[in-house]
Amino acid sequence: MANKEIVDAVNNVKETAKENNRKFKQTIDVVINLKNIDLSIPKNRIDEDILLPNGRGAKAKIGLFASGQLALESKDRVDLLVKPEEIDDLSDDKKQTKKIADEHDFFLAEAPLMPTIGKTLGTVFGPRGKMPRPVPPQGDISDTVEKLRNTIKIRSKNNTTFHAIAGNEDMDSEDIAENIETIIKRIEGALERGRMNIRSIYIKTTMGPSEKIQ
């Protein structure tokens, strides 16, 4: 059972969202503020992929760089398929490359294409934390894609305040609270001093006010 305080906080922000009556489905976000940690040192930065037990509310968008059998079998499982002959075109069109990188949450690529992607697209994908994960050319990526659909990426870079999606306002509050607990535990595990490095945690909707949790 999820922490009651977190469930109550989720209910409060969802109720506020209903009162504001936005014309779009808002996400429920966790806002984490760190303390007593030097994020100018790369090893102290948060860079975590977290599989949410109850999903994100809206599934993550996946891109795939592949050819041959892998491309043929996977084209209906991903949101974007980029074939090897299209990589050079993307490298010549930085605006389109940035658009693709920003519109998709995760990328996969058949392993032999990774060096080419690194050389041609790395300057765009790398800083965004979107470099593809290698997969075997003959492999079945169904399980990998399904897990990524419900995964979030958290990167603090050098900011002591960062956000994470925990669900959306249509999800059950208990499910969202369980997602939030999963996120907090992973962040604590990634920090040098665990909870002692967390100054405060808030829950909010996309456009709504925040609710502090202990």
How far apart (Å, rounded) are the C-alpha atoms in residues 181 and 42?
25
Please tell me the pTM assigned to this model. 0.89
pLDDT average, residue stretch 204-211: 86
Between 116 and 20, the higher pLDDT residue? 116
* Mean pLDDT taken over the chain: 92
pLDDT score, position 203: 95
- For residues 133-157, b (16+ Cβ closer than 10 Å) or e, as one string? ebbebebebeebbeebbbbbbbebe
- Is the pLDDT at 126 greater than 90? The verdict is yes
Between 209 and 177, the higher pLDDT residue? 177
pLDDT score, position 140: 87
What SS3 state is found at 109? strand
- Is the pLDDT at 172 greater than 80? The verdict is yes
Q: Which domains, from first to last, does the chain contain?
A: 4-57+150-213 (3.30.190.20), 62-148 (3.40.50.790)
pLDDT average, residue stretch 117-128: 94
Q: What is the pLDDT of residues 92-122, one digit of tens each?
A: 999 999 999 999 999 999 999 999 999 999 9
